[in-house]
Chains A and B, each alone.
Chain A
Amino acid sequence: MNRITERMNALKASSRKAFVAYLVSGDPRPSVTLEAMHELVRQGVDIIELGIPFSDPMAEGEVIQLGHERALSHNVSLTSSMALVKQFREQNTQTPVILMGYANPIERKGYETFADSASDAGVDGVLTVDLPPEEARDLNEELQRVGLHNIFLLAPTTTPARIHEIVSMASGFVYYVSLKGVTGAGHLDLNSVKQKLGEIRKMTDLPLCVGFGIKDGASAKAVSEHGDGAVVGSVFVDKMGKLADKSDEEIIKAVGEIAANIRSGLDN
């Protein structure tokens, strides 16, 4: 069974919420990421979303844009990021890893080659921000062929008809974008999240994770009350940027502390 499904089932059985943490691969430098992933797991992260740096990250707020730029300055790529996942798997065979990024690096590699390499590296799911269902069919087929989940986004602006169409293509879990805006935005509206999640819940049994604008344990807990988990990214990436000139150990420790706080917020 795919690790994402396995983890989601286990969380549900123990009535816990999923903590999904996002890091940019190779941010602020490649030597940090592998240990940071292990540290996130030690501090209670359930699923790691590894951001694949892209020159034109259209959906990201400034914080994550800068993370992409830091990683690109070290020539981090989709290929090197999959190699990193393979390394991660040498020590961790349990924690699901999702690659999150933009279509062009995947197009460049070719869908079939990409699906084979990702599966071989031990990746469990793929989230392509700029590949809505209309354009995702070919990639979807390739991912299904190798048993990887394709994680789709739903937004506050997604109509009921589209929700229906998207959840029928989705697997693993569905990622609800909590607000109209970019990653790291500051205008999360809990009421609208609650209402929309209720609407989505009626149309699918897939787990629902909520992301964008979630900054701490309290907001993570608040959004996950109406869903099955929370995705947190910008606070980690912001810390990476602020501590970029510090030692790897210092950065990894700081990232772990943020994760521990959010985990305890979610579990309270």
Chain B
Amino acid sequence: MNDLTSAENIDYSCFPDEHGHFGIYGGRFVSETLISALDELAAIYKKLKDDPGFQAEFDKDMAHYVGRPSPLYHAERWSQEVGGAQIYFKREDLNHTGAHKVNNTIGQALLAKYSGKKRVIAETGAGQHGVASATVATRLGLECEVFMGEEDVRRQSLNVYRMKLLGAKVTAVTSGTRTLKDAMNEAMRDWVTNVDDTFYIIGTVAGPHPYPELVRDFQSIIGREARQQSLNQTGKLPDVLVACVGGGSNAIGLFHPFLNDESVRMVGVEAGGDGVETGRHAAPLNDGVPGVLHGGRTYLMEDENGQIIDTHSISAGLDYPGVGPEHSWLKDLGRVDYVAVTDQEALAAFREVTLVEGIMPALETSHALAYAKKLAKDMPKDQTIVVNLSGRGDKDILTMADLDNITL
């Protein structure tokens, strides 16, 4: 039995347990109707994850459709300006569809295909996971419906149209706060109704077991590559890893293959919105409590009655009141530090990296960049930081133009 009270002597690759628990987090908090579908998914995944044929098909898509491996890029000019540690970008923004999301949607769509399901559904906030789901669904000839909060449909019209061009049906969700969490509720309701022929592609490392595990496994290709690339390019492991955390799939994808490397420090960066102290943010690991939402136990933003509260972030992709359960566990163990960066700090990092490196990061990613800069300053020049450049900023052009009072 592992000692859950201390980060020492834990083999992180052995979690979750068979019921999907990471310590007290994770698990399967859903209505009875969905249990058999989750059992079926867990069984199929267990069978396929070590199946050479399935793995070969996944690897082939990763190489020739997504364009992997993604480069580990030394941001020399920015590192020099910051004046401390050497900063490297893991370039997930160069993936097909422009973000890390596609690693997971390809994996899950293959599971859908092997399960014989003809229809996939997905929830989306900013629209990146919706686009990635629509992309792989149309390529496999699967029917696709994407649930998106009405508020997000309005804010992210470009991605809505993109999904429609890809043949997906986009359903605006009008319940609750009309954002990502409500889209996830609605996707669950659809799934419970169409459970026989529908596969639910969850976009992050949240949801009921086995989703946090399988999404992590598909995204771990990021960390496996980054680990090898670091050894090849710098002759050592990185000193610090930095990634933004909404649900936390890009972060866990980078972190997981390094968790057993004691020397590697890891920092997850949450959306601080107007500042954690203002209450207007989306940083449950900084200012939340453990609770149950969307099928798992994890840190949540909620009021004193256990009602989930509104979140705020400039970045729609981080605007979520929960977080993947494995992050909650890693926080409690002290293995990963979780910090928050405000909207203003993220926007400044967006502009700076765009001008200095000619790489326009997503606003989500800009949170990680802002914190990497703070860290790098006080580190010696021979140390390295790897930042997960989880997505590109094209989708955020309208938001930026808005802030600059420009109508495009």
Contact = CB atoms under 8 A, between A and B. Distances in A.
B304 interface: yes
Interface of B: 19, 27-37, 175-176, 181-182, 185, 188-189, 192-196, 289-295, 297, 300, 302, 304-309
Interface residues of A, number: 44
B193 A135 contact: no
B31 A130 contact: yes
B147 to A, nearest CB: 13
A152 B37 CA distance: 18
A166 B31 CA distance: 13
Contacts of B27: 134-135
Given A59-B31, A59-B192, A105 B36 contact: no
6 contacts: A54-B306, A55-B307, A57-B185, A130-B31, A132-B35, A166-B32
B102 to A, nearest CB: 27
Closest 3 CB pairs of A and B: A108-B306, A105-B306, A155-B33
A81 to B, nearest CB: 10
Given A55-B176, A58-B189, A59-B31, A130 B292 contact: yes
Contacts of A57: 185
A79 B189 contact: no
Nearest to B195: A180
A165 B32 CA distance: 13
Contacts of A108: 289, 291, 302, 304-306
A158 B32 contact: yes
A180 B308 contact: no
A129 B192 CA distance: 13
A38 B375 CA distance: 63
A243 to B, nearest CB: 21
A108 B27 CA distance: 17
Interface in A95-132: 102-109, 129-132
B176 A158 contact: no
A102 B175 CA distance: 17
Listed residue (B28, B30, B304, B307) with the most chain A CB atoms within 10 angstroms of its CB: B307
B193 A182 contact: yes
B305 A182 contact: no
Given A59-B31, A129-B31, A104 B300 contact: yes
Contact of A54 (B294, B295, B307): B307
B40 to A, nearest CB: 10
Given A58-B188, A108-B305, A157-B36, 17 more contacts: A56-B294, A58-B31, A58-B189, A61-B189, A62-B175, A65-B176, A79-B305, A104-B293, A106-B306, A108-B289, A130-B29, A130-B31, A134-B28, A135-B27, A158-B35, A177-B33, A182-B193
A177 B32 contact: yes
Given A107-B292, A109-B306, A162-B35, A132 B28 contact: yes
Nearest to A105: B306
Contact of B175 (A65, A131, A156): A65
Contacts of A162: 35-36
A152 B300 CA distance: 26
Contact of A157 (B35, B291, B293, B297): B35
A159 B32 contact: no
A85 interface: no
B306 A107 contact: yes
Given A103-B292, A104-B291, A130-B292, A153 B306 contact: no
